[in-house]
Structure 1
Amino acid sequence: MKSDTEILVISGMSGAGKSTIAHTLEDLGWYVVDNLPPALLENLIDLVNVSMKRIAIVIDVRGRAFFNDLTKSLALLADQGVSRKILFVDAADEVLVRRFESTRRPHPLQGSDRVLDGIAKERERLREVKDSADLVIDSTSLNIHQLEKKINEYFTEDSNADLRVNILSFGYKYGIPIDADLVVDCRFIANPHWNPQLRPLTGLDKAVSSEILKSENVQDFLSKYQALFETMAIGFIGEGRRYLTLAIGCTGGKHRSVAITEELVAKLTAGSKLSNYKIETKGLHRDLGREI
Structure 2
Amino acid sequence: MTERAAPKTILLVTGLSGAGKSTALNQLEDLGWETVDNLPIRLVGRLLKTPPAEGQERGDVPLALGFDSRTRGFAPEDLVDQVKKLQKAQDVTISTLFLDCQGAELGRRFAETRRPHPLALDRPAADGIAEERSLMEPLRRWADTVIDTTGLAVNDLKTLVRERFEEVQSRGTTLSVTSFGFSRGVPHNADLIFDLRFLRNPHWIDKLRPLTGLDAAVGDYVRADTDFDEAFAKIRELVLFLLPRYESEGKAYVNIAFGCTGGRHRSVFFAESFARMLQEEGYAPSIGHRNLASRPVDSLENFRDGDRAGSSLQEETI
TM-score class normalised by the smaller sequence: 0.5 to 0.7
For 2:174, which of 164, 168, 188 is the aligned residue? 164
Q: In structure 1, what residue type is equivalent to 2:286?
A: K
The secondary structure found in structure 1 opposite 2:200 is coil
2: CA distance, partners of 1:213 / 1:31: 48
In the TM superposition, residue 253 of structure 1 has moved relative to its aligned partner by 0.6
Partner of 1:209: 219
- Map 1:126-145; keep pairs closer than 5 Å: 129-130=145-146, 140=153
Checking the alignment, whether the CA contact within 8 Å between 1:31 and 1:55 is kept in structure 2 is yes
TM superposition shift of 1:251: 0.4
Residue 232 (structure 2) aligns with: 219
Q: State the match for 1:290 in structure 2.
A: 294
1:257, distance to aligned residue in structure 2 (A) = 1.1
SS of equivalent residue, structure 1 residue 233:
helix
Q: Secondary structure at the match of 1:103?
A: coil
1:97 aligned partner: 107
1:8-40 Cα shifts (integer Å, max 9, x gaps): 6656653233225435755886422446899x9
Give the aligned residue type for 1:247.
Answer: A
Are residues 1:17 and 2:20 paired? yes
> Aligned pairs, how many?
264
Mapping of residues 49-88 of structure 1, within 5 Å: 51-58=58-65, 62=69, 64-65=76-77
SS at match of 2:212: coil
Counterpart for residue 196 of structure 1: 206
Q: Contact between 2:190 and 2:256, CA under 8 Å: does it hold in 1? A: yes
1:177 partnered with 2:177: no
Q: Return the alpha-carbon distance in structure 2 between the equivalents of residues 245 and 92 of structure 1.
A: 26
Aligned counterparts of 1:86 and 1:213: Cα–Cα separation in 2: 48
2:50 and 2:238 map into 1 onto residues whose CA distance is 45
Q: Indicate yes or no: 2:277 matched with 1:267.
A: yes
Q: Distance in 2 between matches of 1:105 and 1:117?
A: 11
> Do the aligned residues in 1 keep the contact of 2:14 with 2:96 (CA within 8 Å)?
yes
Distance change >3 Å, CA 174–CA 165, structure 1 → 2: same
Displacement, 1:230? 1.1
Q: 2:25·2:66 contact (CA, 8 Å) conserved in 1? A: no
Tell me what 2:310 maps to. none
Provide the secondary structure at the position in 1 that maps to 2:145.
helix
AA aligned to 1:268 is L
* Structure 1 Cα separation of the partners of residues 267 and 96 of structure 2: 29
Please name the residue that 1:32 is paired with: 35
Deviation at 1:192, TM superposition (A): 1.8
Counterparts in 2 of 1:224 and 1:103: CA distance versus 1, 3 Å = same
Alpha-carbon distance in 1 for matches of 2:103, 2:199: 32
Percent identical pairs in the alignment equals 30
Are the counterparts in 2 of residues 168 and 284 from structure 1 also a CA contact under 8 Å?
yes
Partner of 2:311: none
Q: Tell whether the 8 Å contact from 1:90 to 1:178 is kept in structure 2 after alignment.
A: no
User: Partners of 2:95 and 2:216 in 1: how far apart?
Assistant: 40
Is the Cα–Cα contact under 8 Å of residues 177 and 288 in structure 2 kept in the other structure?
yes
C-alpha contact (below 8 Å) 1:36/1:57 kept by paired residues: no
Query: Could you tell which deviates more after superposition, 94-103 or 186-195?
Result: 94-103
Structure 2 unaligned blocks of 5 or more:
53-57, 70-74, 297-318
Question: Which structure 1 segments of 5+ residues have no match?
Answer: 275-279
Give the match for residue 277 of structure 1.
Answer: none
Residues 245 and 120 from structure 1, CA distance in 2 versus in 1: closer, same or farther, beyond 3 angstroms? farther
For residues 257-279 of structure 1, give each alpha carbon's deviation from its aligned partner in whole angstroms, at most 9, with x where no partner exists. Answer: 1112112222233336x6xxxxx
CA distance in 1: counterparts of 2:152 and 2:238, whole angstroms: 28
Query: Residue 102 of structure 2 contacts residue 150 of structure 2 at CA under 8 Å; is this kept in 1?
Result: no
The within-5 A match list for 1:223-234 is 223-231=236-244, 233-234=246-247
User: 1:138–1:179: 8 Å Cα contact kept in structure 2?
Assistant: no
Separation in 1, partners of 2:191, 2:14: 17
- The normalised TM-score by structure 2 is 0.57
Q: Alignment partner of 2:285: what SS?
A: strand
Once the two structures are superposed, residues 32-62 of structure 1 have per-residue CA deviations (whole angstroms, 9 ceiling, x without a partner) of 2446899x99x79986869243223146665
Residue 249 of structure 1 and its aligned partner are, at CA, apart by: 1.5
Q: Deviations over 1:170-225 (max 9, x none)?
A: 11112223443443322122222223343232111122223323431322333234
Given the superposition, is the C-alpha separation of residues 188 and 94 from structure 1 closer, same or farther in structure 2, using an over 3 Å criterion? farther
